[in-house]
Structure 1
């Protein structure tokens, strides 16, 4: 009798294992585009059905994409960014890029913009707080990291004061980056009545937000007219004058002109996703006037309907390069497609300069980077190390004309798994300023000799770290 019961139990366990494997395999085959990821998930589930099934349900299913698909076409503000009054065409070598990105993003290239680079929190924070303090109608703010430290509380004070004088304030922070168990700024702002959204935050295991699908965007729009975006989080480590223990340099950008409409739209989409509130009022999308000569456009990317759009934009720009490609990034762990395009550019005589920090704030990423760099050196790319402090800027210039800046790092996580926002600009003057800034951080050139003379144990460590490249 006991033997019979055991047979029934064994049969039930076997049936459950086979069912889990079948469900995961079918879902992977129908939804996963990456062959490596597909093989990995199927392999783990076949070897460990229960564990693999649980992990896949938590980390393998892109619920964001499904929800985003349902939300497409539901935003009445979208047409406001399409005003023919500000649409402009790019001429010359980059015309194919401008046309491609228009089709890729559905956003037009807009003229009449002014773009100002702000380096470090010392110069950016005062401008941002001043704009919030002068707000009359609306403030939209999003930050991946928003610390409740001294500078964070100054921002909170300005946001609360704006809310109390009748300004429509909306603040969104990432559900992990700004504190998973305790979100200090969320408590402060919510306690004062300011609407706050925590992006992709949940304590439920099957909606676990760790690791993937983070909102890495940094956005501030005041009265729909003054915009700020770039790589700068909110924290005292970004203020050099405060002499932090671990200082972080960064670059942010102040925007004025029609492209601010697109910045507002990017925030409004994420806000609708997070809080379910549609920001359709005119105070968020007022009429624009010309502020400069820059042709600009916002490009968003994420594991939803914007999948890989920032990466595609970069790859297309590399193919059009005729003289130079300058890149500055805090984390440099791109995939083989990125490597191929940069290598081909270098092989056809383009000057390719890549500036990375001497040490970043993520040691394992530095190890993996060291093992990945020889392939770029082999093709003729020049790798430069920037001395401390750690620079978190994400900057790109091609041929001294096209610039691409924003929140996106050059690693697989940022390009495919996070929600990011970048700005492209067809502007010689802006490109020249960014190019010069990148050049000033080309402190030490890295060579094959530097990498080859490392001890064997370091090479083994770095090579092992590189195996986790898709997950770093």
Structure 2
């Protein structure tokens, strides 16, 4: 019997490692770890318990856990199929939104070939082309970020759409709630999406106050729903604020006091937010309305959500979104394309440096062909396992002349790519497994030299507050650090 159990487990593991898609494997990985731990415990119990009743109970429990595991595996596999019934309906809805926004203003602006290539890739993957009539403001100070959002929300006349991974009931959360209640009472449509796991501590009375004022607030998969649907490891990590379809914000911050640097255990919080006015907000609106359809079942097709922008300022901007349930790994491909497009320099800031083989190869190739590749990550990450996982990639990167900097003045939470003073990417997507395979993300890509130069100046300030990792020092790291990196590698599919 024990032999049959081992054989069955071996077959299951073989199929998971060899036959299933990457997105399915990394999705099932935490369940796999738990099942493996329980399986080992049960096998040990069988060695020490001889009572027939206890042995039968153990076999029953093992069978139930195996059935639960296979049920979850099936649900995850079904979720990642782009031809499932929900995806078919959602795809039709997104086509309807595209039809509403089909009128494009013509421009004679010509982008460079590398920029065109990135834009073409994203348009093929997402259906969202580069928009040209935009204004953008990159915001680096956390307090200013919230001030800007509050100011624009206060001006809302038609609708406010908000989507965050984390929504806290703290000081900043209370201020946001009070402002949304005020706007709802003024007759403004207010819709809020929060992630059911990321905002697990959000109290019922917080939501109740909003609902009673007329705010529509929905959780993106509660914890219970996530378990039943096999989506516990799939989260909505997007950060979106849209006001009247004309002003949009995206970046790395959520709604919580720690994002203002008020958490003494974290210290100085470094993040980035981009405020966009113009045609690109229509792309952000499409992403939000797609998510709203998922959480509510409502199709919002009114033209008022896609108002015409009359500004004349030229700033090419493109929105890229991706998730576990889309055909392509849109975020991963966008990042890969930006990396491979760089000819002179490529600067990256990310709290998580957890790389796929393709990302490693892209970064190595860029650095070895002479591109100045700099990566800034926090010296003290939010979780110690993240630090172990991050450092497990240092050897491959440092040996290929990639420069790595550990930010020491607090915690860097920015998600930034800058390539050749021509391309800037800002948004919610980290450079890690979760953002590439598991979570719903959204970035704004700015094809502009002046915006790139502003971002590079800010990144150099961060580098000034960082400690560069030298290959010679890293190669002498103690045995315990090497062991930690091995442990960190086991956690890569979770980070």
- Following superposition, the deviation at residue 134 of structure 1 comes to 1.2
Give 2:117's aligned residue.
Answer: 96
Give 2:182's aligned residue.
Answer: 161
**Secondary structure in 1 aligned to 2:417?**
strand
Give 1:372's aligned residue.
Answer: 393
Q: TM-score, normalised by structure 2?
A: 0.84
- Following superposition, the deviation at residue 32 of structure 1 comes to 3.0
Distance in 2 of aligned mates of 1:297 and 1:385: 30
Partner of residue 311 from structure 1, selected from 321, 332, 344: 332
CA change 1:208–1:184 in 2 (3 A) is farther
**Secondary structure in 1 aligned to 2:310?**
coil
Partner of residue 65 from structure 2, selected from 51, 58, 61: 51
Distance in 2 of aligned mates of 1:42 and 1:361: 24
Distance in 1 of aligned mates of 2:344 and 2:256: 38
**Secondary structure in 1 aligned to 2:462?**
coil
Give 1:79's aligned residue.
Answer: 99
CA change 1:184–1:419 in 2 (3 A) is farther
1:332 equivalent to 2:340? Answer no
Give 1:7's aligned residue.
Answer: none
Give 1:195's aligned residue.
Answer: 216
1:250-399 aligned at under 5 Å gives the runs 250-290=271-311, 292-305=313-326, 307-399=328-420
> Does structure 2 conserve the Cα–Cα contact (< 8 Å) formed by 1:29 and 1:38?
no
- Following superposition, the deviation at residue 191 of structure 1 comes to 3.7
Give 2:228's aligned residue.
Answer: 206
Distance in 2 of aligned mates of 1:372 and 1:24: 26
> Does structure 1 conserve the Cα–Cα contact (< 8 Å) formed by 2:345 and 2:373?
yes
1:32 equivalent to 2:21? Answer yes
CA change 1:31–1:245 in 2 (3 A) is closer
- Following superposition, the deviation at residue 59 of structure 1 comes to 5.6
Tell me the C-alpha RMSD between the 2 structures: 3.0
Give 2:136's aligned residue.
Answer: 115
Give 1:6's aligned residue.
Answer: none
Partner of residue 439 from structure 2, selected from 400, 404, 418: 418
- Following superposition, the deviation at residue 103 of structure 1 comes to 1.4
- Following superposition, the deviation at residue 42 of structure 1 comes to 9.9
1:127 equivalent to 2:141? Answer no
Which digits, 9 at most, give the CA deviation of each residue in 1:80-132, with x for residues without a partner?
44433157652333322222222122111110111101123300111111111
CA change 1:42–1:167 in 2 (3 A) is closer
> Does structure 2 conserve the Cα–Cα contact (< 8 Å) formed by 1:115 and 1:254?
yes
Distance in 2 of aligned mates of 1:300 and 1:334: 19
Distance in 1 of aligned mates of 2:343 and 2:288: 35
Distance in 1 of aligned mates of 2:79 and 2:106: 32
Q: TM-score, normalised by structure 1?
A: 0.88
Number of aligned residue pairs: give it.
Answer: 455
> Does structure 2 conserve the Cα–Cα contact (< 8 Å) formed by 1:24 and 1:56?
no
1:229-268 aligned at under 5 Å gives the runs 229-240=250-261, 242=262, 244-247=264-267, 248-268=269-289
Moved more, 278-287 or 327-336: 278-287
Unmatched tracts of structure 2, length 5 or more: 40-61
- Following superposition, the deviation at residue 290 of structure 1 comes to 2.5
Distance in 1 of aligned mates of 2:201 and 2:122: 35
**Secondary structure in 2 aligned to 1:61?**
helix
Unmatched tracts of structure 1, length 5 or more: 1-9
> Does structure 2 conserve the Cα–Cα contact (< 8 Å) formed by 1:28 and 1:38?
no
CA change 1:104–1:118 in 2 (3 A) is same
CA change 1:35–1:112 in 2 (3 A) is closer
CA change 1:181–1:110 in 2 (3 A) is closer
Give 1:466's aligned residue.
Answer: 489
Moved more, 229-238 or 72-81: 72-81
Which digits, 9 at most, give the CA deviation of each residue in 1:262-282, with x for residues without a partner?
111110000001111112222
Distance in 1 of aligned mates of 2:175 and 2:25: 46
- Following superposition, the deviation at residue 343 of structure 1 comes to 0.2
**Secondary structure in 1 aligned to 2:175?**
helix
Moved more, 200-209 or 226-235: 200-209
